[in-house]
Amino acid sequence: MTYILLVAGKGSRLHPLTLNTPKSLYKLDKNDTVLQRMISLIKKVDENAEIIVVTGFLAIQIKENINGVTFINNPFYSVTNSIASLWFARKYLLRDNVTIINGDIVMEEALIKNEVCNPTEIPYILLDSSVKHNGDYNVQINQDKVLVMSKDLDSYYGEYAGVTKLDINSAKLLYDEINKMVMNEMYDQWYENALVQMIFNYDFQLFYRDISMYQWTEIDCVEDLLLAKKIHME
């Protein structure tokens, strides 16, 4: 299976901790960083994993600390968003079973085994229905499908957990959509907004899996760093 990890961002919400170090290289213990832990657990579960890491901010530092992956660089990370990072790695979307992961996610091993590395025949995202307030990027659903995802929803079913899983057909659709958006100078968008455009414009069927029974966090603040350490140690 192919895994695309997006780690190009500056992590500015964690300044000053991330002024000189990417948050994906935050140490969970003496040896393991956020990014290395995710890579190691994926390889543990999926021996045939092809892992693509899209860098930007302090790319050289990441490359010096991570082995056994393919690096793609977004040289325009400071003036673009994740859609541009995925665009630079777009050729890897033309595969069967692609998993896209935001690079600041820490999850318990069982979640990675049961969902992240699980092959799929339908496109779906991971969400946590236990988060009803103060979610970062949130999801509203209609029955078993995603209706909309946004940072600006007043009410929603749950918080997006930073993972999108695609079969070969949906991966090709996303390839086409991000290419069109970037060519139309919409490179300041989250790549997930391309999925929303596909839902609205083409009646794209995007499903979801609720992971509220698992431990996970997206690292955006100091409290998230503490939770990430706790998940790692358990």
Q: How many domains does the chain have?
A: 1
pLDDT digits (tens, 9 = 90+) for 149-196: 999 998 999 999 999 999 999 999 999 999 999 999 999 999 999 999
Q: Which residue has the tokens 């085994």?
A: 113
DSSP for 82-113? Answer: HHHHHHHTGGGGSSSSEEEEETTEEE-HHHII
Contact 147, 140 (CB under 8 A): yes
Which residues does 132 contact at the CB level (< 8 Å), separation at least 6? Answer: 156, 158
Instruction: Enumerate the H helices of 23-149 as residue ranges.
Output: 34-45, 59-65, 82-88, 109-111
**Beta strand pairing status for 98-102 and 70-73?**
unpaired
pLDDT digits (tens, 9 = 90+) for 10-30: 887 878 877 888 999 999 998
Contact call for residues 164 and 125 (beta carbons, < 8 A): yes
The reported pLDDT for the residue numbered 20 is: 86
Average pLDDT over residues 63-77: 96
Distance of CA 205 to the CA centre of its chain: 19
Q: Residue 171 corresponds to which amino acid?
A: A
Neighbours of 72 (CB within 10 A): 22
Q: Does 55 score more than 90 pLDDT?
A: yes
CB 122 within 8 A of CB 171: no
Q: Measure the CA angle with vertex 181, ends 140 and 185; round to 5°.
A: 125
- pLDDT band at residue 101 under the 50/70/90 scheme: very high
Q: Domain limits at 214?
A: 2-233
CATH number at residue 110: 3.90.550.10
pLDDT band at 134 (very low <50, low <70, confident <90, very high): confident
Residue 213 has pLDDT above 80, yes or no: yes
What pLDDT does 168 receive? 95
69 Cβ contact list (under 8 Å, min separation 6): 5, 39, 51, 52, 53
Mean pLDDT of 94-123: 95
d(CA 193, CA 147): 12
pLDDT for residue 207 is more than 90: yes
Q: For residue 201, what pLDDT is reported?
A: 94
What pLDDT sits at residue 14? Answer: 79
Looking at the chain, the whole-number percentage of residues with pLDDT higher than 70 is 100
pTM as predicted: 0.96
